[in-house]
Amino acid sequence: MSLLVVGLSHRSAPVSVLERAALSQDAQVKLLQDTVAAEPAAEAALLATCNRIELYADVDKFHAGVAELSTLLAQHSGVGLDELTPYLYVHYEDRAVHHLFSVACGLDSMVVGEGQILGQIKDSLARAQDMHTAGRLLNDLFQQGLRVGKRAHSETGIDRAGQSLVTFGLEQLADGADVGTWARGKRALVIGAGSMSSLAAATLARAGVAEIVIANRTYDRAERLAQILTEADGTDVVARAVRMDAIHDELTRADVAVSCTGATGLVLTAEAVAAAVEGRVGAPVAVEPPVASDPASGRTGRTGRTEQSAAVRTTAREETPLPPASVGTEEGCPLDLPAAQSGFSVLGEGAVAGMDAATLEQHATWVDKGSTVDRPGTRPASGAADAELITALAATASVTGRVPERRRPEPAPAAPRPEPVLALLDLAMPRDIDAAAHRLTGVRLVDIESLAEASADAPMAADVDQVRRIVSDEVAAFGAALRAAHITPTVVALRSMAAEVVASEIARLEGRLPGLDDKHRGEIAQTVKRVVDKLLHAPTVRVKQLAAEPGGAGYADALRTLFDLDQETVAAVSRADETENDRNARTEGEQA
């Protein structure tokens, strides 16, 4: 059996695909059940967060496992397999271990170094344990992943490389200002009472907001979170709970709203956001014109500045004349045509910018001679006028030495958007807040897609290299331990067989020598046991060492063949070990 992971994340798929592939809680449960029911998989665990969906399994066949896990992900996500496949990644055996350890350390997070992923890994393991889909391999893997993640955070400064997604999102809302200064005195609305929403509420409370309103479908959970926030040390925040049908009224009074629910549809439509802002400012909300989407990426501009800049660039492209079709084939032209700047005629001023006087004169002669020649694919010939212009430029060049480079005018800066009266942070996948709210005047919306764009340029701490070394060392150690553990049942079965042989021979000796007293019988039995132990010691120690090395899995099979060990005896030892491991893993998970 071997470890396999099939998944997609913000690194492999656009947000639009991740959003559609997001799994509800019921779908996650059903996916795990169907995975272990499938033929190639014996164990399964699912790591599903706002920016990744990864299915881990212990499979007996690689290709069949990849096909089955990919099909199951497509079926339960509702995204067609043909559409989903280009965005899926596959990791196998040591690469799968390396991937999970990297994820646990925050190296694969949208915000490098964030520690929230550890809680999500812990929740994934607990769910697999509760559903009995995690066996010895996945229990060991996820437990070790949690330990590696904690080690990375305690031994390095990876925390300095990034923050939680919540903190990063609030920094984007603050738009360069200190989050504490920006949040101080504001009224906040938090929609949802799960782990992400709770973290957002606690972060806002520490940042100094004056009031936090918690809205949740289960009112008791909202009340419990509000009570925790009110009683927390170090904050003076006023927290209260409301039901979900009150969020539109509360949004009118809020300065900042954070939403992260498990809803499959929108929690806040653009119309609801516009109504809230209108109720706040007492005037209709303007809607900025949308920018055309990039058909390849599906992205649109996120702010007015971005959209207007894109419009300027588009207009510039449309107004720029295309180069003549004959560029590169103008016979006798002294220009370096392959290096000619795109968009300028070989006859015009733009083409000769930067030439020295001698080259300009050659070019003027070439243009003048070609004035009566009709060049197919070019503008109508006007050689005399061009020759006069170039001659004038040559005179300038004889004084300055070179014609100055001709530069296109910079696009005019777009008018800045007014200061938002409502800041929205959408951490849900699929999204809770309508993306059209981006274009509402007075609204600043940060969502998973804009966070992904912002984090692409975020600086990484030097400690990341140290964490990568920790991950590599831990992967090697885990692989060695896994391979050594694989041969342990065979070694135990071998020693059990040897003990039975010793016991059988001692019994036979007593039958042949009935007059032996207890002292001599004991000495003989002890001697035989020592001989057997010494004969087995070196081979069993060495076979464990060899099995721990890469490619050492075959030593267990060789040992069973050489000593003709009963396969059922080996399997019984394995089952006993797995039961003990499951018990220990559950205890460790409760303590983590």
What residue numbers does the annotated binding site for substrate cover? 49-52, 109, 114-116, 120
CA distance 510 to 528: 14
Residues paired with 57 in a beta bridge:
4, 44
Given a contact cutoff of 8 angstroms between Cβ atoms, the answer to whether 53 and 429 are in contact is no
Long-range contacts at 521-525 (CB < 8 A, ≥ 24 apart) = none
CA distance 367 to 377: 16
CA distance 520 to 522: 5
Backbone torsions φ then ψ of 241, nearest 5 degrees:
-110, 145
CA distance 454 to 477: 36
CA angle 557, 563, 564 (to 5 degrees): 80
Sheet order of strands, 2-9 included: 41-49, 52-59, 2-9, 89-92
Given a contact cutoff of 8 angstroms between Cβ atoms, the answer to whether 479 and 101 are in contact is no
Beta strand pairing call for 238-243 and 187-191: unpaired
User: In the numeric block, which tokens belong to residue 25?
Assistant: 């809680």
Backbone torsions φ then ψ of 149, nearest 5 degrees:
-60, -45
450-469: burial string, b at 16+ Cβ within 10 Å, e else: bbbebbeebeebebbeebbe
HSE of 542, CA atoms in CB hemisphere, 13 A? 6
Query: Where is the binding site, in residues?
Result: 49-52, 109, 114-116, 120, 192-197
DSSP annotation string for 399-428: HHSSPPPP-PPPPPPPPPPPPPSEEEEE--
Query: Where is the binding site for NADP(+), in residues?
Result: 192-197
CA distance 101 to 318: 49
Sign of torsion, CA 566 568 571 573?
negative
486-499: burial string, b at 16+ Cβ within 10 Å, e else: bbbbbbbbbebebe
50 catalytic residue (yes or no): yes
CA angle 540, 542, 545 (to 5 degrees): 110
CA distance 357 to 85: 59
CA distance 129 to 139: 8
Helix (H/G/I), strand (E/B), else coil: 550? coil
Given a contact cutoff of 8 angstroms between Cβ atoms, the answer to whether 125 and 45 are in contact is yes
- Which residues are designated catalytic? 50
